[in-house]
Structure formats: C-alpha cells, structure tokens
Amino acid sequence: MSQLVIEDLHVEIGSREVLRGFDLTMSSGEVHVIMGPNGSGKSTLAHALTGHPGYRITGGRASIDGVNLLELTPSERVHAGLFLALQHPLDVPGVRLVDALVSAGATGEDVRERMRVEAERLGLRDELLDRFINVDLSGGERKRAEMVQFGILRPHFAVLDEIDSGLDVDALGAVARRLSQATTEWNCGVLAITHFRRLLQELTPDVIHVVSAGRVVATGGAELSEQLEAEGYEPFAALGR
C-alpha cells in the first residue's frame, strides 16, 4: 500500500501564484478526481508534481511513501512511482518510444512486445509506436500512446491531466477501462484532472475534490459531482476566496 501526500503546495508561474496551499492525500488502488473551472490550478498541480521547468514551487511538500518528490529530478520522480499523462502530449522528433522506455528502465527483451499488447488493449495501431514519439499522431492517438507508456512503466500513482479532452467516446472508454484495470492489476492510484463530468461516467471515482483558486475547497463522494451538475462551480468558488 502506497500513499501520495500533497501538503500545503504553493506554485508560481512567472510571478503569479497559481497553487495556494494545495492539500490532497490518496492511497494506491484508489481513483480520485479533481474538478474545477479553467484557471483553478488543476493543470499546474500536474506539471509541478512532475518537475516541469516552467513552474516554480515556493512551498509545501509532495511525497510518495515519505519520499519528497519535489527534491527529485523529473525522472527520479517517475522511479519513485509517479506518472503524468498530459493534456497535450509533446512530440519528440528523432526519438522512438521504445528507446525512451528502455532508457527509463523498462527491462527485458520484450519491451516492444509489451508495448504491442498495451496498444492492442487501447485500440491503438501498433505501428504508430514505431514512429518518433507522438510525431504525426492525432490528439487521441497521443493520449493512447501515453497510456501505453503508463502500462509499461506501471507507476504507483498516475496523474492524468484532462485525459478526456480530445478523445472520442470509444477512446475515452478504452482509456478509462485501462486505468480501472490498473487499479486492481498493480494497485495503481489514479488521480484524474477534468472539468467535464463525462469522465466520471467511464471511470468511477472513490473521491472527488473540487478545486478553486489554487486549493481544494471541497472533498467528497459522488454527491459532489451531482451538486456540481446542478449548481455549477460558482458556489464552490466562494469557498476559495
């Protein structure tokens, strides 16, 4: 059993403070969903956790099983058990995914074969994985390619930034199924960031967090998403001020 603990996290972009005391605790095998309006800091959380160079952490902690992620390089964070799926996965011309995964420590001669199996589970054409990373892939294909990475790296916790944007219903279903299976397959914890409810129909959350103005303002179960559906974010926004 692993634990991801985020305590009082403060993050700046440029000179603007975007996360202002963010707290969240989750355990492996759980599915947590972070919801909130645009600009509330959801994506900042994802990028800051993985050490994106454009985000400056000015306070707080984030750890997996007591290991402070914020003191680690981005790749060391992956080895500590963290994985990020991006809203807009980048392309890296000239570099093949299999070479990156082998450098990332994926072992055995069968890495490529395991990629093929993962691609099949996600309904992704396998030959796309022989291209340079995400080069000439559609938005949906990129997201599924990241889920292939996820399946190979088998993280303790996966942070998914707007995984539902740009995916059609079938692709979203395939991605959500893969994540659900991972929660039992290796007890993976899933932290999904979204501002649509559609994802909740595909990926049953254990806990929902509502974020406003850089901090969690409400935490609860399915009833929270119903309240959001009925009343929108506005009542929650007042809590963040």
Under the rule (CB under 8 A), what is the footprint of other proteins?
Answer: 50-53, 73-75, 77-79, 84, 86, 89-95, 99-101, 103-105, 132-133, 149, 153
Give me the least distance between CB of 236 and other proteins, in Å please: 30
d(CA 190, CA 42): 15
Q: How many CB atoms lie within 10 A of CB 90?
A: 8
Q: How far is the CB of 182 from other proteins (least distance, A)?
A: 16
Choose between 105 and 232: whose C-beta lies nearer to other proteins.
Answer: 105
Q: Least separation, in Å, of the C-beta of 183 and other proteins? A: 21
DSSP element (H, E) containing 121: helix 111-122
Complex with other proteins: residue 49 or 216, whichever CB lies closer: 49
* Secondary structure letter of residue 221 according to DSSP: S
Q: What is the DSSP letter of 186?
A: S
The least CB distance from residue 69 to other proteins, in Å, is 12
CA 232, distance to chain mean position in Å, is 23
Closest approach of other proteins to the CB of residue 134, in Å: 9
Contacts 24+ apart (CB under 8 A), 166-171: 166/139, 166/140, 167/139, 167/140, 167/143, 168/140, 170/123, 171/123, 171/140, 171/143, 171/144
Cβ 231 to other proteins, closest distance in Å?
Answer: 36
Instruction: Read off the amino acid at residue 71.
Output: E
CB of 135 to other proteins, least distance (A): 10
Output 95 or 237, the one with its CB closest to other proteins. Answer: 95
Closest CB to other proteins among residues 50, 212: 50
Query: Which residue's CB is nearer to other proteins, number 153 or number 237?
Result: 153
Nearer to other proteins, 54 or 223 (CB): 54
Backbone φ and ψ for 227, nearest 5 degrees, come out as -65, -40
Give the residue with the Cβ less far from other proteins, 92 or 222.
92
For 200, the token pair is: 């909740």
DSSP assignment letter at 56: E
152 touches 118 (CB < 8 A): yes
117 CB-near residues (< 8 Å, 6+ apart)? none
For residue 100, give the 3-state DSSP assignment.
Answer: helix
User: In the structure encoding, which two tokens stand for residue 15, read together?
Assistant: 């000179």
